[in-house]
Amino acid sequence: MKNKGFVLMETIIVIVVISVALLTIFASYNKILTKVKTENKYDTSEYIYMTYHIKESLNDSIEAQKIDEASTLTNYKETIHNIFGVEKIYILTNLDKFGNNEKKVDAYMIDYIRKLDVRNNDELIIVEYKKPVMDPINYEQKKDSNGNELYETYIASLEW
């Protein structure tokens, strides 16, 4: 009868295998959490309501035929930028054709649109917002080492 137990080499191999398995599980869990954290910035209730107000104001301006006037449009863009932090507004009319225009939009928007669960013929208003990152100590906007103000990007959409 061979009574030889575990040798060092076997122990090491088992430990390595267990470690690799644990690391893989942790990495995949972390990936899921990161994805959830990113998606927390998409379609939050606050920004959906903001998008609703943007849509209403755009409809009002279109009805009043004011949106075509350059000065009115500039004023409108400044207002929604200053108050709601609107960076960009897109009207998505055909999801199929979006693939050809990916280079014209930024990475956040590409990621958001790729995650959209819509039919190709749905028309959407998609608004990108910038929200200041606040310092938890004094509730003032955070700045990076170069003195630039820090922002987070939020995106929300509604049927157009």
Partner 1 sequence: MNKKGMTLVEIIISIALISIVLVFLFSLLVTVNDMNDEADINSTYLINKSLILRNIEDDLSKANKVNISTTCTNGEIDGIQSFYSSYNVSEYEIKYQASECIQFEYTINDGENDIKSTAYLAIYYYQPKEEYVISYIHGNTKATRILPEFEKYNVNQTNGKIKENFEIKYETQNNFHKITVPIIGNDGKDYSILISYYGTMSVNI
Name the residue among 130, 111, 129 with its Cα closest to residue 39.
111
Note whether 71 binds partner 1 by CB under 8 A: no
Among 69, 134, 143, 149, the residue binding partner 1 under the rule CB under 8 A is: 134
Task: Classify residue 150 by its DSSP letter.
Answer: P
Taking the least distance from each CB to partner 1, the nearer of 75 and 101 is 75
Q: List all residues 6 or more positions away from 38 whose beta carbon is below 8 Å from its beta carbon.
A: 111
Q: List all residues 6 or more positions away from 81 whose beta carbon is below 8 Å from its beta carbon.
A: 87
Among 65, 119, 139, 148, the residue binding partner 1 under the rule CB under 8 A is: 139
> Distance between CA atoms of 39 and 48, rounded to whole angstroms?
14
Name the residue among 93, 131, 133, 126 with its Cα closest to residue 111.
126
Residue for token pair 């470690």? 19
* The one segment of 82-90, 101-109, 110-118, 143-151 that binds partner 1 by CB under 8 A: 82-90
Note whether 49 binds partner 1 by CB under 8 A: yes
Pattern 89-128, binding to partner 1, x per CB under 8 A?
A: ----------------------------------------
> Distance between CA atoms of 78 and 59, rounded to whole angstroms?
17
Among 75, 93, 94, 101, the residue binding partner 1 under the rule CB under 8 A is: 75
Q: Where on the chain is the footprint of partner 1 (CB under 8 A)?
A: 1-8, 11-12, 15, 18-19, 22, 26, 29, 33, 36, 40, 44-46, 49-50, 52-54, 56-57, 75-76, 79-80, 82-84, 133-134, 136, 139
